[in-house]
A = this chain, B = another copy of it.
Amino acid sequence: MNPDRNSTSGNLSTSVAGDIIRALDADDKGAVRRLVESLHPADTADLLEWVSHRERNRLVDTLREPFDPDILAELGEAVAERVVERLGTVQAAEAVASMATDDAVEVVEALDADVQQAVLGVLPDIRRDRIQEGLAWPEDSAGRLMQRNVVALSDDWDVGRAIDYLREADDLPADFFDLFLVDRGYRPIGAIPLSRVLRTRRTSALTDIVRPDLRTIPAGMDQEEVAFLFRQRDLISAPVVDEDGRLLGVVTVDDVVDVIHEEHEEDILALAGVGAEDNFFEAIMETTRSRFIWLMIHLIAAIAASWVISMFAGTIQELVALAILMPIVATMGGTAGIQALTVAVRAIAVKELTPMNAVRAIRKELLVSGLNGLLFAVLIGGVAWAWFASPALGGVIALAMVINLLTAGLTGSVLPVVLQRAGFDPAVASSALLTSITDVVGFYVFLGLAAALLL
């Protein structure tokens, strides 16, 4: 045991990675295996994600027989699939067979249907059944996240009997954090953190040290909801139950950490119009296709804005300063709108924005955007006046600025609430909708006011 191993760097160092690549290039399999052995499986997984397709295949070939299941469990979907394909059905199944159910379900669900069937086909029956039970739950549900192996004790035991049982049992999960008490119907009725068990004398009843506030998780609960619960209640593990309240398995905080991470990632990418699949390691064609759709939406919105401008073609020809200034009003509206929108989307995600305070939130956004609208109206009005020596033009752009920033504040705060009520994910598509509105309103108000007041 070397306690200092890796303890200074937060992750796989570039130099170790470089050494491994060089050993691969020199075809020195012994050196590759030795170097990888010194790494944590999560770091080896990172390495497999960083390297090129060709290097990955060589690395997999060097590390097979047997391939460490912990590495497979730590890989992202896109790369996991490629590694399984390279490993081949039999060796992949061997790795999957020795994983905890939750990890195994995660790896298997990432595979294409035919590869999935092939891998499941060579698994021992009992493992296959467990994994298929996991896959039967909806994607992103607690049922998919849970580990089936769980420590459930009868509620009439005492601490001594529990400890004796734990010392004898040989089918316990590798790690666990709470003991669950179950009634005769195998329904969980309490959780006991292990630290309480260790601090209590053997003769005390388990029911004396049970935490008073058990939270059970229905297997169908969405993982985002599960993550919210863990964060809100500082949970380390929680029992998953079926419709009759019977204990099915346990969700642990390490999986929840991954879920929180994934869900945030989805939000941040969705706001930028990138599909959640637009993983760094996705292939070029898939990335191009997934971004195309979003760009198409923006193209249609941009053409709509152009059509608005075309209604004022005559006005622009008479006063070309309008063409010069018009993008400013639209840009500022889009920027202010995205600010309000992002705050609202985030607040909805963390349940800070609720039906209870939506009106207050919208009022606040209107005030903030109104105040900034006034400030920027003065600024841009002054610039336009000075630039084109026209106080009237300054007045028109100032007025357009106030109106468009108010539109931005209102749209940015209302749109996510409306989308959420209508059952959509407010992060998806709302930014495209928002900038369409601020562009169209920005051009229309500025050019329309100019046509009415200046000519």
Smallest beta-carbon distance A78→chain B, Å: 11
- Interface hub of A3, A189, A212, A338 (most chain B Cβ within 10 A): A3
Q: Is A448 an interface residue (CB 8 A)?
A: no
User: With contacts A291-B336, A383-B303 known, is A346 near B214, CB below 8 A?
Assistant: no
Binds B, one of A112-120, A131-139, A355-363: A355-363
Contact of A230 among B6, B257, B274, B284 (CB under 8 A): B257
Residue of B with least CB distance to A189: B3
- Find out whether the CB atom of B272 lies under 8 angstroms from the CB atom of A215: no
How far does the alpha carbon of A97 sit from the alpha carbon of B199 in the complex, in Å?
A: 24
- Interface residues in A303-355 by Cβ distance below 8 A to B read 303, 305-306, 309-310, 313, 316-317, 320-321, 323-328, 330-332, 335-336, 338-339, 341-343, 346-347, 350-355
Within 8 A of B (CB), among A3-60: 3, 5-7, 10-11, 14, 17-18, 40, 42-43, 46, 49-52
Contacts of A186 in B (CB 8 A): none
Query: A264 near B: Cβ within 8 Å?
Result: yes
In the complex the two chains form, what is the Cα distance from A278 to B18 in whole Å? 42
A340 CB, nearest partner CB in chain B, Å: 9
Q: Does A82 belong to the interface (CB within 8 Å)?
A: no
Does A125 have its Cβ within 8 Å of any Cβ on chain B? no
Query: Interface size of A by Cβ–Cβ distance < 8 Å?
Result: 135
Q: Is A90 an interface residue (CB 8 A)?
A: no
Count this chain's copies in the assembly: 2
A83 to B188 alpha-carbon distance, docked (Å)? 37
Residue A81 CB within 8 A of the other chain = no
A14 touches B236 (CB 8 A): no
Q: Which of A102-141 contact B (CB under 8 A)?
A: none
Closest chain B residue to A174, Cβ basis:
B195
Chain A, 357-400, contact with B by CB distance < 8 Å: what is the 0/1 string? 10011001001100110011001100100000000000000000
Q: Is the CB of B257 within 8 A of A376?
A: no
Task: Scan A201-220; emit 1 where CB is below 8 A from any B CB, else 0.
Answer: 10000000010111110000
Contact with B along A244-259 (1 / 0, CB 8 A): 0000000001101110
B357 touches A50 (CB 8 A): yes
Query: Any chain B CB within 8 A of the CB of A200?
Result: yes
Decide: B351 and A11 in contact? CB cutoff 8 A. Answer: yes
**A67: interface (CB < 8 Å):** no
A418 at interface by CB-CB < 8 Å: no
Q: Is A158 an interface residue, CB under 8 A from the partner?
A: no
Chain A residues engaging chain B, CB cutoff 8 angstroms: 1, 3, 5-7, 10-11, 14, 17-18, 40, 42-43, 46, 49-52, 163, 166-167, 172-173, 175-177, 188-190, 193-195, 197-201, 210, 212-216, 221, 225, 228-236, 253-254, 256-258, 260-261, 264-265, 267-269, 271-274, 278, 280-281, 284, 287-288, 291-292, 294-295, 298-299, 301-303, 305-306, 309-310, 313, 316-317, 320-321, 323-328, 330-332, 335-336, 338-339, 341-343, 346-347, 350-357, 360-361, 364, 367-368, 371-372, 375-376, 379-380, 383, 435, 439, 443
23 interchain pairs, CB-CB under 8 A: A40-B213, A43-B232, A163-B198, A175-B193, A197-B198, A230-B257, A234-B257, A253-B257, A261-B264, A268-B271, A271-B272, A272-B338, A272-B339, A284-B367, A284-B371, A292-B372, A302-B331, A305-B327, A309-B327, A313-B323, A317-B320, A331-B435, A331-B439
Q: 12 extra interchain contacts, Cβ-Cβ under 8 A, other than A11-B229, A268-B346, A313-B323?
A: A10-B228, A11-B351, A49-B352, A166-B199, A167-B199, A198-B198, A257-B260, A260-B260, A261-B264, A272-B339, A292-B372, A302-B328
